[in-house]
């Protein structure tokens, strides 16, 4: 099985995760794929293959270099797909030698470089696309395929020396839970890489600090004919709360290192309202200031409408892995050299989001993020270049090879 065949086969499994579910993984259909993947790893000759009761898979490609002081490194990808778009009945197809024009995914559904200029970076390449009704799942099944294919290649080429290589695949990354039950001690690596980045060359070791905010508003429902001086309309207060968020600090008005507040949902009626936000910033102080700002809005509204009218519950989700990676920059230097050796121009940039690697870095496993090749994640216009996937696989192989000489 080659890289492309492996990836397309993976996309046939519906592994969509789900918010606000108490189980791990959040959807049982993820386990269907996990069991398949475990068997595949066994059939491809990896050792110590195991899957725990939560669907976390671990395996080893044993060292072939006979050196005891070679670092054990790891590669990690998640197998769930985003709740933002359907992951069922994915119909992946290959557009050979993309010519730079519009791609008709299905009648009336067109992926155009006018709307998605990233397409222009892949003229002449072979693109895997959807039919425009589902996401593709390159986030992150492309990463899984690249890691597995790299391990197969190394097994078939014993002349390329490497130390012990650990691989791991997990559920529920898309809902921020992927690293929560990851067993770092069992994984047993000195450092690792998530293969979960975007377009070719991307290398990320800075990500947002992240928190979630739940805003609850208590209203007073009174017949509208007799409401004067009595009614407190929670729906209207929810609008007022949102109006106090600066328009300059929204996802749609920020980029790069700029943080934001993002209103995910409002569920409201006159008597009560619930709002869900995410808060993001790369800088820890600004991040803390943003959380304080949310509380200050509640205080202002309580002064106006009465104590207890508005409450804000904050929960930290993950932090900027740069805090942990800065002290171990050899982990980054190795990737930069590996990319250059296989002809990839590195694009070091901050993540306007998070990865499992961020949480794992704070668990003691330095874990930056390498490109997997996908573009336009979480929607029906997602695509991945076959050539980008091949480059990602080559980067994995080169990292393994270079690590064998790390202590020379």
Q: Is the dihedral of CA 319, 322, 326, 330 positive or negative?
A: positive
Q: Which of 44, 126, 173, 356 is labelled catalytic?
A: 173
Encoding tokens for residue 338? 């590996």
Give the count of beta carbons closer than 10 Å to the beta carbon of residue 247: 8
Q: Examine the residue annotation and report whether 202 is marked as an active-site residue of this protein.
A: no
The answer to whether 80 is a known catalytic residue is yes
Helix axes 386-403, 138-156, angle to 10 degrees: 50
Q: Which helix (H) or strand (E) holds 242?
A: helix 234-243
Q: Are 179 and 360 in contact (CB under 8 A)?
A: yes
Give, rounded to a whole angstrom, the gap between the first and last alpha carbons of the chain: 35
Say how many C-beta atoms besides its own lie within 10 A of residue 67's C-beta. 13
Compute the distance between CA of residue 112 and CA of residue 99 in angstroms, rounded to an integer. 12
State both tokens at 286.
């600004």
Cβ proximity of 184 and 356 under 8 Å: no
Query: What whole-number distance in Å separates Cα of residue 87 and Cα of residue 12?
Result: 9
Give the separation between CA 99 and CA 45, rounded to whole angstroms.
39
Element (H, E) at 32: helix 29-43
Sign of the CA dihedral running 370, 181, 286, 294: positive
Q: How far is CA 211 from CA 40, 104, 232, 251, 262, in A?
A: 37, 39, 29, 15, 11
Retrieve residue 349's tokens. 């940039």
Residue 119 is given by DSSP the state G
Q: Angle at CA 25, nearest 5°, toward 24 and 31? A: 130
Overall size of the chain counted in residues: 408
> How far is 189 from 185, CA to CA, in rounded Å?
8
Query: Catalytic residues, which ones?
Result: 80, 173
């Amino acid at each position: 099985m080659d890289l492309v065949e492996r990836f397309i086969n993976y996309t046939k499994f519906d592994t969509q995760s789900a918010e606000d579910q108490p189980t791990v993984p959040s959807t049982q259909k993820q386990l269907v794929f996990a069991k398949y993947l475990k068997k595949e790893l066994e059939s491809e000759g990896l050792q110590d293959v195991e899957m725990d009761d939560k669907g976390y898979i671990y395996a080893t490609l044993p060292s072939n270099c006979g050196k005891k002081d070679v670092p054990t490194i790891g590669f990690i990808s998640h197998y769930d797909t985003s709740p933002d778009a359907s992951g069922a009945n994915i119909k992946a197809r290959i557009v050979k030698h993309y010519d730079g024009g519009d791609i008709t995914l299905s009648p009336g559904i067109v992926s155009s470089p006018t709307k998605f200029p990233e397409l222009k970076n892949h003229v002449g390449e072979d693109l895997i696309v959807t039919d425009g009704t589902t996401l593709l799942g390159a986030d992150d099944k492309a990463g899984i395929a690249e890691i597995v294919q790299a391990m197969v290649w190394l097994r078939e080429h014993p002349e390329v020396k490497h130390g012990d290589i650990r691989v791991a695949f997990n559920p529920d990354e898309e809902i921020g839970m992927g690293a929560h039950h990851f067993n770092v001690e069992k994984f047993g690596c000195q450092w690792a890489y998530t293969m979960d980045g975007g377009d070719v060359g991307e290398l990320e070791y800075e990500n947002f600090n992240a928190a979630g905010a739940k805003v609850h508003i208590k209203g007073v429902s009174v017949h509208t004919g007799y409401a004067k001086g009595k009614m407190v309309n929670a729906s209207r207060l929810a609008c007022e709360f949102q109006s106090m968020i600066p328009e300059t600090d929204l996802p749609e008005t920020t980029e790069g290192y700029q943080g934001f507040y993002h209103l995910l949902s409002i569920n409201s009626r006159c008597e009560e309202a619930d709002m869900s936000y995410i808060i993001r910033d790369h800088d820890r102080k600004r991040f803390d200031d943003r959380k304080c700002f949310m509380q200050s809005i509640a205080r202002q509204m309580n002064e106006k409408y009465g104590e207890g009218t508005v409450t804000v519950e904050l929960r930290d989700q993950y932090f900027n892995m740069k805090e942990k990676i800065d002290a171990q920059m050899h982990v980054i230097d190795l990737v930069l050299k590996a990319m250059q050796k296989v002809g990839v121009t590195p694009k070091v940039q901050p993540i306007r989001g998070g990865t499992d690697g961020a949480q794992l870095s704070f668990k003691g496993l330095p874990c930056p993020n390498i490109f997997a090749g996908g573009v336009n994640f979480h929607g029906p216009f997602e695509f991945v270049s076959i050539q980008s996937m091949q480059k990602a696989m080559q980067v994995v192989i080169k990292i393994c090879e270079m690590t064998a000489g790390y202590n020379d």
